[in-house]
Structure 1
Amino acid sequence: MSDSLPLRAPAYVRHFDKLVDLTLAAITVVVFVAAALATFVQSPWDGAIQLALVLAVLMLFRRRWPMLALLLSIAAIFVYHLSSWSPAGWIWPASVVYFTAAATPRVRWAVAIGVAQLIYSAIDARWIIHQNLTRYLIHTVGEGLLLTVVIGAGLAYAATLRWQERQYSAG
């Protein structure tokens, strides 16, 4: 009998992962709608709830298709932002999907999508420069730092899993 890694995670791990994903999806809807209401969005039915539901559904598929979930999440946020004022509730579900995508071998794509999003955000927020340069810099640098931390955490998580796998197979 060999001591190789199982091809599939144990059932309790798979069930726990599903529970985590369902919890993250529910939190996504609650946080996004709460952020929309707290930032005085006239009617959350004008797009905020729909975006929250899209982000929540994508949260459920982020493990199976991380890059697709990332692309669709950022695309949905972009479309919403173009059609309506965007509350801050979308930042945390996007961060979760970035983290998941960064833990894959396709981390370069996650970085490229993040850089494109940062460039768009910096250009879109340029109107702030004339009113408050410090606020613009905090906004732009803050988003860059958040993206760096999230992608770095995803990379660290993936490296930890690889290290554990090597320890398990060596021991």
Structure 2
Amino acid sequence: MAESSPVRAPAVVRHFARIVDLVFAALTVVFFVAIALATGVRSPWSAAIPLALFLGVLLLVRRRWPMTVLLLSIAAIFAYHLVSWSPPGWIWPASAAYFTAAATSRVRWVAVIGVAQLLYSAIDARWVIDRNMPHYLTHTLGEGLLLAALLGMGLAYAASVRWRNRPGGLEASTS
């Protein structure tokens, strides 16, 4: 029996994926800036808007260079955090970068990056411990659960793609 090559997605599916990425990138910029303004950022042009644009552009290329996008996203968020208070709007583009990178063969490195970010966040938020320990624990455990969920979803997605593209593919199991 001849071995078949992996089936390439139809053009309409590839175009739809590009449109989805474009919409996600645009929404990232709009929502990140809106959240920054709503949470008290007084001058969004100094850091919030450049970060929002950068994270939006990264979402456009996340499928092609998932690890690079993850590293650049986290580095940009760290840099932003050094110059300004970090509004919660960054969580979406970072989550998309984690999910996409977790679906690659480098999932262990994705986990290492995530744990490093989680440790940094836990240490950076230590000032909350004296004021509101339940909030600190909820924040830290919530980030840990989100990271675990993103890694799990990325692994599950990668497994489903491998299963679908195996010789015989989805069609063989449904006929």
Q: Is the 8 A contact 1:58 1:73 kept in 2?
A: yes
Pair 1:108-2:108 in alignment: yes
Q: What is the CA deviation profile of residues 62-107 of structure 1, one whole-angstrom value per residue up to 9, with x for unaligned ones? A: 0000000000000000000011011000001100110000000111
Partner residue in 2 for 1:122: 122
Q: Is the 8 A contact 2:33 2:52 kept in 1?
A: yes
Pair 1:26-2:16 in alignment: no
**TM-score, length-normalised on structure 2?**
0.92
Aligned ranges for residues 61-80 of structure 1 at < 5 Å? 61-80=61-80
Aligned ranges for residues 20-169 of structure 1 at < 5 Å? 20-166=20-166, 167-168=168-169
Q: Is the 8 A contact 1:5 1:169 kept in 2?
A: no
- What SS does the aligned partner of 1:30 have? helix
Gaps of 5+ in 2: none
Q: Kindly tell me the number of residue pairs found equivalent between the two proteins.
A: 171
Measure, in 2, the Cα distance between the counterparts of 1:2 and 1:16.
Answer: 31
**TM-score, length-normalised on structure 1?**
0.94
Measure how far apart 1:11 and its partner are.
1.5
Measure, in 1, the Cα distance between the counterparts of 2:2 and 2:38.
Answer: 57
Measure how far apart 1:35 and its partner are.
0.7
Measure how far apart 1:118 and its partner are.
0.2
Q: Is the 8 A contact 1:3 1:169 kept in 2?
A: no
Measure how far apart 1:2 and its partner are.
5.4
Q: Is the 8 A contact 1:39 1:87 kept in 2?
A: yes
- Sort the Cα spacing of 1:162 and 1:7 in 2 relative to 1 into closer, same or farther, 3 A: closer
| Percent pairwise identity | 67
Measure how far apart 1:34 and its partner are.
1.0
Letter in 1 for 2:9: A
Cα RMSD after superposing both structures: 1.7
- What SS does the aligned partner of 1:104 have? coil
User: Which stretch of the first structure deviates more once superposed, 11-20 or 135-144?
Assistant: 11-20
Measure, in 2, the Cα distance between the counterparts of 1:2 and 1:27.
Answer: 45
Q: Is the 8 A contact 1:59 1:69 kept in 2?
A: yes
Q: Is the 8 A contact 2:163 2:170 kept in 1?
A: no
Measure how far apart 1:5 and its partner are.
3.6
